Structure 1
Amino acid sequence: MCGLAGLFSKNGEIGSEIEPILRTMGNQIAYRGPDDEQIFINAQFGAVFRRLSIVDVAGGRQPLFNEDGSLMLMVNGEIYNHHDLKSRLKEQHQFRTQSDCEIILHLYEEKGENFLDDLNGMFALVLWDKRKQRLILARDRLGIKPLYYTESNQRLLFGSEIKALLAYPDCPREFDWVEALSYQHQRMYPDDFLPSFFKDINYLPAGSLLIADAPANNITVKRYWSLPDEDYALDTRTEQEIIAGYGELLADSVKLRLMADVEVGLFLSGGIDSVSVAALASPFQKLHTFSVLSQSTFQNGDARAGHIAAKHLDMPNHQILYSWHDNPFTPEHWKSLLWLCETPLCNAEHLYKYHLHRYAKHLRPALKVILLGQGSDEFNGGYSVNYVKDYRPDLNEEERNWSTFINIFGDFEKDALISGANTNLAQYGGVLTKGFLASGSRQTHYRHPWLYYVNMHLQSLQMYNLWHEDRTAAGNSIENRVPFLDHRLVEYTMKIPPQKYEALFWDKAILRRAMQDRLPLELSQRPKCPFFYGEDVRYTRRMLYNLLRADDSALIREAFFEADGLPFDRQAIEGLITDIPEEPEYSLLESLLPLVNMGLLAKMAQAPVSQHHADSIGLLPEIRIENWEEQADNLALQLAIRREKAELLDRMVALKPGTRLLKFDQISEDSAYSYISVNDKIEYELSEAEMKDWLAVLRRIDGKRSINEIISELGMPASKIRKHLEEALDYGIVSFLDEPTPKT
């Protein structure tokens, strides 16, 4: 993880007067590279580099130069196969450092614009060719490392983050409301361009290079890599042979990403992806692992699985507590996080990941690298089951299968094709072929819906997952590494014959089967869980809503009511804010939060740019866990309790007047619900599966007994129902009839 920024002048040389501006641009991203700063100016080109020292800590200072100094290179990232590439060079070259990135200079000398073809790594690089007066910007194949650019007054500006560009006096800084309001990363079409959310600031796509040629006075962007799309129907390998090859490649990818002269750690969610990385890294290093312990990850089992996996692999595991109701998060902290991330998509995931990095850095100051399980779902079918559940909830378990998943993505592709130039054909869309629609819109028509899935997620990866992983790590001076995004591994999965898609990509079978001999069945076959979405997502939403309303709704006021020219209907916004807590799931928060972010970002871009300071944000606590099963009840109570008095459980309790619990309703084979009515109007729907214990208690509340008496009768610990009791009190479902009984 490093940071770079600079400019290229199309109308003449720049001089030393540009140095203070370059230094200011570098200062905005100083956290990306706290170990060193270097400025380089030559002819029409100038740049600043901030280094995070990971490989060749003492000698790998950048920029790097070739033997005669005619080439200058700055790289944010790592080249994992640099030793192998050195042995394959055709000519004799003098290497001045042990840096993994120096190989790029000599590949360019030998191969010209094809110098990126052999690199295995993640990178955003800047190469200045003095002789040809040519600037090259490039990103790695999957877009792991970010790079932005814009043209301003005959100057090309570039930087690792948008804020570095905004530090340049003439940089465009208008927020792109239309792009932000219309963007949906969950359904990003493969042919969509990558927005920066700021007008005239461009996000260089993955697998692309930009060439600025001074003599020709032109700038071109071209792709040097894209996902393979060939027909491999003649492939005769068996499923087991394909799985074995995949496992070998993944193991090699993990091993390569341990390359560092500093400490490496790992984020362990408990899912098959991060657990696989941990298992494959364990023979080489005993990594410290870090997990999120929140109401959501406790309920969905992620935190428990992370603990179990770390224990199985004999790795230290640190469970970081995220209390939705008792935390140090303030409006100013949210603004700092939002400005760090630079995206209206900033949400609880950014907050969780930022504080996980923050704690890791606090606990292990020498740690500079974190391994992630990111990128597996996108190319191994990790979202397949969830798509079917989300888009076809009417189906039973038997009907939720690969065929349904493929039909869903066939429909997604057609929706994409009936857009833009084809919008006027929508009325005939049902009878038109995809090939015809593609030819009319200049969009890609994929030979199989699976290919649409992976190409869609390649775009989404860059705009969401990789974007926030990069920023939340960078803000704590840490580099993230993603073994699943080794391009060899991605290309391997893309070359699997279509007739084996179902066997290998439904529910991520290729990875589960590759790891089944390395992990207990409990971990290798554990179903995928959303990070914080799912049964208890309402607690995360309540946390964010409380943050928006903190300090007299400071964030809301600043976003909507303290600026002119915003596209919002203020009365409608006020109605949305009021409506959110009326519904226990707080689902409307998903609509409000991005709008708040947009209003804040639009204002931040116009104001003087300030730096991000990690030390100004509070540190979350770690919960020490020796034995999960023994501590589970206490953990559940610790996450749930907000009303401190334990006497709540000892008081006689009744349903509030006018409130009734109605009998359950069997909606389908696997879903049943009970309902709570208030004054003869159904207000709440309770899932029998998710709230079985609480419903058992509700059915016994009669105004004559306490909660403790009821749960004693049921043989149930308070931890099973405490969070629901708190919510029932919040929403006035139950009330207490007497004073608490004094303890003797």
Structure 2
Amino acid sequence: MSGLVGWIDFSRNLALQRPVITTMTGSLAHRGPDGERVWTSPRAAFGHRALVVEPGDGRQPVVTEADGHDVVLCLTGAPGGLTALRERLRGAGRPVSPDAPAAELLSQAYLRWGSDFVPWLSGAFALAVWDGRTEELVLARDQLGGQTLFFTETPTGVVFGSERKALLAHPEVQPAVHTAGLREVICHAVPTGPLFSGFSQVEAGEVAVFGRSGWTRRQYWKLQTRPHEDDLQTTVARIRAMLEESARAATPSGPDLAAVTLSGGVDSSSVTALIAAELRRRDLGRLHAYTIDYAYDGFRSDAMRTSKDAPYARMVAEHVDARHHVVQLEAADILDPVVRLSMLRAKDCPTRIYDMDAWQQIFLQRVAADGHKVVFTGLGADNAFLGATWCNDRGLVESGTFPWIALAQRHGARNGFGTGLVNQDLLARLDLPTYYADTYASAVADVEHLPEEDDWARKMRTVAYLVLTQFRGDSSIFSATGLQVRSPVNTHELLQYTYNIPAEMHRHGGIEKGLLREAVADLLPQEVVRRPRSATPISHDPGYPARLQEEFKAMLADTEAPARPLTDLAAATELVGQPDRLAKDRLARASVELILQLNLWLDHYRVQLVL
């Protein structure tokens, strides 16, 4: 995925601080396995770890002299809109070589227009610019927040980076966490934010400028509420055209660089068909498609999973002539201490659903080990086309809170998924019900409605807004394995269009994601087109809860375990003595996993809780 770090200081001479910026850069080695570069000057220092997908991607930071001063740019991700940007530069009298890499192109655009060019980009990206002419730092992030960018001020400047761990590698930054940060770690109501005390982040669709007088921040993009005036046929045609254009723009130029994660659901199957067709068009060979399966074959349908993935995935791979790889996982492998730590370091904090995320990380490690650098997914389709459970369950839509929180509460998790073993004193201090209410009220206050919308249409627009802005996909697991994730479905242009489509049209054909199904119906087997949504698979191997019980029992026996003061020890002791409950109750396992993750996080990151 590549990674960037930086340090601005108006007091020290950073030309003498290369060891510090090198340490910060090294903390992101997993994001950029293809090389490292650092640049220092008296006031600014930049570092970059490269994942080379296109020629020249590793030539960063880009340093250009302008008016006797250095202008330096670092870029992560894969911005789109570069062809049009080249044409703009040519028209402005600044022609750029056709083979100039993205970072050099953006550097020239900055020299011509300052940060005004950022809204012209698409795709997932984050960038940092040090402008030596004005002694200002410019940070920017893509419209959907696909690339993260954190920062924290020091007494004499600011440090920033693609991940929190890069900031923590600076000697002036301490891993302190106050109540608000711990609340985010435990409840996961909204995407996990900066967490650590004093940390901030560049928001999705934002440009932030830092200079001697402080920060200037501006939002350059947000969802717009507009009437949807296209009929069904036109709507389907526009969706198909946008998907095809997005697939063309996202496909890398070299053979065997790309793979796709294929579940056999309509989201990933659509992407598989689109990318396979684009590779054939360019004569770049067959697409590699990877599917998760488990060595223990004990699939059980439930409220979230309707059918097993592998047969549908195999059907799609054969249909589009992809090279199909089924990766069989052992369920208990996610309890390996190395896997636990790598999962934690991927996110710099506990994850909401450990088992699913950890299995996904092991799966992606296999994809990376086969030599691929770009992974295509159907990430974002559930949000764009209102496919998730909470968009199709009237009770959740009308719950008056985040529908994913309402779903957890429906199944008995009053304070949210995984919070069942947090002790009562800490829960009282965190006051999660009030936090949920306040955060929800703040989020929905930004929703704009059309005058003609009735009560149900307003509720569905609110849910659509929440899933698009507060339930975004997370690329950290991909980054941790040295992969760049791309999703032709998850573009701000497509999401802006689908956001305004009425809910009843989204359910064209009487099924969730009906518009997406109609748009790709000619590309896929009909069994796949009509397959109901089925969530990410999990294993029911009895060995996993048994091993989990042993690990949790050992933690509870350790009187020095840092998570003990946060744990309801009576409830935990009762649960650890009920192996049958752990085997059958997913909420119980999630609660155990959260405490184990908290224990490792507090220990490994040396977190200083300030509650």
TM-score (norm 2): 0.82
Post-superposition Cα deviations, 1:167-215, rounded to whole Å, max 9, x if no partner, equal 1112130234554446677754xxxx8523322222332112221023x
What is residue 250 of structure 1 aligned with on the other side? 243
Which structure has more relative contact order (CA 8 Å, sep 6+)? It is: 2
Q: Aligned AA for 2:148?
A: P
| DSSP 3-state at the match of 2:208 | strand
User: In the alignment, does 2:277 pair up with 1:275?
Assistant: no
Residues 127 and 546 of structure 1: is their aligned pair in 2 closer, same or farther, counting only changes over 3 Å? Answer: farther
The CA deviation at 1:523 is: 0.8
Distance 1:477 1:547 in 2: 29
What is residue 148 of structure 1 aligned with on the other side? 150
The CA deviation at 1:108 is: 2.3
Task: Note if contact 1:66-1:72 (Cα within 8 Å) is conserved in structure 2.
Answer: yes
Residues 499 and 508 of structure 1: is their aligned pair in 2 closer, same or farther, counting only changes over 3 Å? Answer: closer
| DSSP 3-state at the match of 2:464 | helix
Distance 2:188 2:167 in 1: 28
| DSSP 3-state at the match of 1:171 | coil
Match of 2:59 among 58, 61, 64: 61
What is residue 41 of structure 1 aligned with on the other side? 40
The CA deviation at 1:409 is: 6.6
Residues 220 and 271 of structure 1: is their aligned pair in 2 closer, same or farther, counting only changes over 3 Å? Answer: same
Q: Aligned AA for 2:199?
A: I
Task: Note if contact 1:187-1:456 (Cα within 8 Å) is conserved in structure 2.
Answer: no
| DSSP 3-state at the match of 1:115 | helix
Residues 282 and 40 of structure 1: is their aligned pair in 2 closer, same or farther, counting only changes over 3 Å? Answer: same
Q: Aligned AA for 1:109?
A: L
What is residue 373 of structure 2 aligned with on the other side? 368
What is residue 225 of structure 1 aligned with on the other side? 221
Distance 1:603 1:220 in 2: 36
The CA deviation at 1:60 is: 4.9
Q: How many residues align?
A: 552
Residues 477 and 187 of structure 1: is their aligned pair in 2 closer, same or farther, counting only changes over 3 Å? Answer: closer
Within a 5 Å distance, the mapping from 1:559-570 to structure 2 comes to 561-563=560-562, 566-570=565-569
Task: Note if contact 2:335-2:547 (Cα within 8 Å) is conserved in structure 1.
Answer: yes
Q: Aligned AA for 2:244?
A: A
Task: Note if contact 1:556-1:596 (Cα within 8 Å) is conserved in structure 2.
Answer: no
User: In the alignment, does 2:315 pair up with 1:308?
Assistant: yes
Q: Aligned AA for 2:494?
A: L
Residues 181 and 132 of structure 1: is their aligned pair in 2 closer, same or farther, counting only changes over 3 Å? Answer: closer
Task: Note if contact 1:410-1:449 (Cα within 8 Å) is conserved in structure 2.
Answer: no
Distance 1:248 1:33 in 2: 33
| DSSP 3-state at the match of 2:17 | helix
| DSSP 3-state at the match of 1:127 | strand
Distance 2:495 2:208 in 1: 24
Distance 2:563 2:258 in 1: 47
Q: Aligned AA for 1:173?
A: P
The CA deviation at 1:94 is: 5.1
User: In the alignment, does 2:84 pair up with 1:84?
Assistant: yes
Task: Note if contact 1:370-1:479 (Cα within 8 Å) is conserved in structure 2.
Answer: yes
Task: Note if contact 2:511-2:532 (Cα within 8 Å) is conserved in structure 1.
Answer: no
Tell me how large the CA RMSD over aligned residues is.
Answer: 3.4
Distance 1:375 1:328 in 2: 26
Q: Aligned AA for 2:261?
A: F
What is residue 421 of structure 2 aligned with on the other side? none
What is residue 341 of structure 1 aligned with on the other side? 347
The CA deviation at 1:88 is: 2.2
Distance 1:29 1:141 in 2: 23
Q: Aligned AA for 2:4?
A: L
Match of 1:377 among 382, 387, 393: 382
The CA deviation at 1:277 is: 0.5
What is residue 673 of structure 1 aligned with on the other side? none
Task: Note if contact 1:71-1:129 (Cα within 8 Å) is conserved in structure 2.
Answer: yes
Task: Note if contact 1:177-1:197 (Cα within 8 Å) is conserved in structure 2.
Answer: no
User: In the alignment, does 2:503 pair up with 1:507?
Assistant: no
| DSSP 3-state at the match of 1:293 | strand
| DSSP 3-state at the match of 2:151 | strand
What is residue 486 of structure 2 aligned with on the other side? 481
Residues 296 and 43 of structure 1: is their aligned pair in 2 closer, same or farther, counting only changes over 3 Å? Answer: farther
Q: Aligned AA for 2:221?
A: W
Distance 1:250 1:584 in 2: 42
Q: Aligned AA for 1:212?
A: F
Q: Aligned AA for 2:309?
A: D
| DSSP 3-state at the match of 1:142 | coil
| DSSP 3-state at the match of 1:175 | strand
What is residue 106 of structure 2 aligned with on the other side? 104
What is residue 28 of structure 2 aligned with on the other side? 29
User: In the alignment, does 2:352 pair up with 1:351?
Assistant: no
| DSSP 3-state at the match of 2:102 | coil
Q: Aligned AA for 1:449?
A: K
Task: Note if contact 2:391-2:460 (Cα within 8 Å) is conserved in structure 1.
Answer: no
Task: Note if contact 1:136-1:212 (Cα within 8 Å) is conserved in structure 2.
Answer: yes
Residues 546 and 479 of structure 1: is their aligned pair in 2 closer, same or farther, counting only changes over 3 Å? Answer: farther
Q: Aligned AA for 1:80?
A: G
Task: Note if contact 2:115-2:207 (Cα within 8 Å) is conserved in structure 1.
Answer: no
Match of 1:527 among 509, 532, 553: 532
What runs of 5+ residues in structure 2 fail to find an aligned partner? 280-285, 302-306, 407-430, 450-457
Q: Aligned AA for 1:205?
A: E
Task: Note if contact 2:385-2:506 (Cα within 8 Å) is conserved in structure 1.
Answer: no
Distance 1:34 1:513 in 2: 40
TM-score (norm 1): 0.68
Task: Note if contact 1:162-1:342 (Cα within 8 Å) is conserved in structure 2.
Answer: yes
Task: Note if contact 1:409-1:452 (Cα within 8 Å) is conserved in structure 2.
Answer: no
Residues 601 and 556 of structure 1: is their aligned pair in 2 closer, same or farther, counting only changes over 3 Å? Answer: farther
The CA deviation at 1:123 is: 0.6
Distance 1:196 1:271 in 2: 33
The share of aligned pairs that are identical, in percent, is 23
| DSSP 3-state at the match of 1:517 | helix
Distance 1:255 1:289 in 2: 18
Residues 151 and 546 of structure 1: is their aligned pair in 2 closer, same or farther, counting only changes over 3 Å? Answer: farther
Distance 1:458 1:336 in 2: 28
Post-superposition Cα deviations, 1:278-307, rounded to whole Å, max 9, x if no partner, equal 111122322111110024768622121111
| DSSP 3-state at the match of 2:340 | helix
Post-superposition Cα deviations, 1:489-513, rounded to whole Å, max 9, x if no partner, equal 1122124357745549961111011
What is residue 283 of structure 2 aligned with on the other side? none
What is residue 451 of structure 1 aligned with on the other side? 461
| DSSP 3-state at the match of 1:600 | helix
What runs of 5+ residues in structure 1 fail to find an aligned partner? 393-404, 416-422, 609-744
